[in-house]
Structure 1
């Protein structure tokens, strides 16, 4: 029995900012070629930025891993459009607040 998990086109609309992470999950038996485009209100889209996720592996990326940091405003929330040539799962993780050291 074969069950496809994931999608070829996804959008993260939660307002990603530099420092946030995307975990790309490729459960297929072939490498996944992925394009990510950042969109923000009142700005031209950035990208597409390309990445390859090996077969049956994950890849953890930050917005600043793809785009030049100078192109990303730290105060601008971005939607991220993900297009892949094989079904993928994308998990969005917002940056963690700094935890003060224990006293």
Structure 2
């Protein structure tokens, strides 16, 4: 358990894939120091991966670019911890959204 004052913790359960982006919005007037850990079924956790988001700004990294090792192409969960209020939203690029067959 972290001892930092003002930690913000968020979790995204089973729905992210390596080709997705994770939109992070820093709501504060200071830098947000963010750590992310990714977990796929049957695999070892990847992370924590650290990012700094400038005040009142959005960062939208491609998840595959954040990790040194390739995550399996399975749905995985993410845990995000920040020292400032940050909104987190998983996002698929429109070109990559899978459409059901007609």
Common topology (TM > 0.5): yes
TM-score normalized with structure 1 length: 0.79
Q: Deviation digits for residues 48-76 of structure 1, max 9, x if unmatched?
A: 000000011110112112102x4212x22
Query: Take 2:43 and 2:16, find their aligned partners in 1: how far apart are those partners?
Result: 15
User: 1:34 is paired with a residue of what secondary structure?
Assistant: strand
Paired positions, count? 91
**Structure 2: which 5+ residue stretches go unaligned?**
1-6, 98-102
Q: Which runs of 5+ in 1 are unaligned?
A: 1-6
Give the structure with the higher percent strand. 1
Normalized against structure 2, the TM-score is what? Answer: 0.80
C-alpha separation in 2, matches of 1:80 and 1:53: 18
| Deviation of 1:96 (Å) | 3.1
Superposition CA RMSD, Å: 1.8
Paired residue for 1:83? 81
Equivalent-residue separation in structure 2 for 1:98 and 1:42 (angstroms): 25
Larger Rg: 1
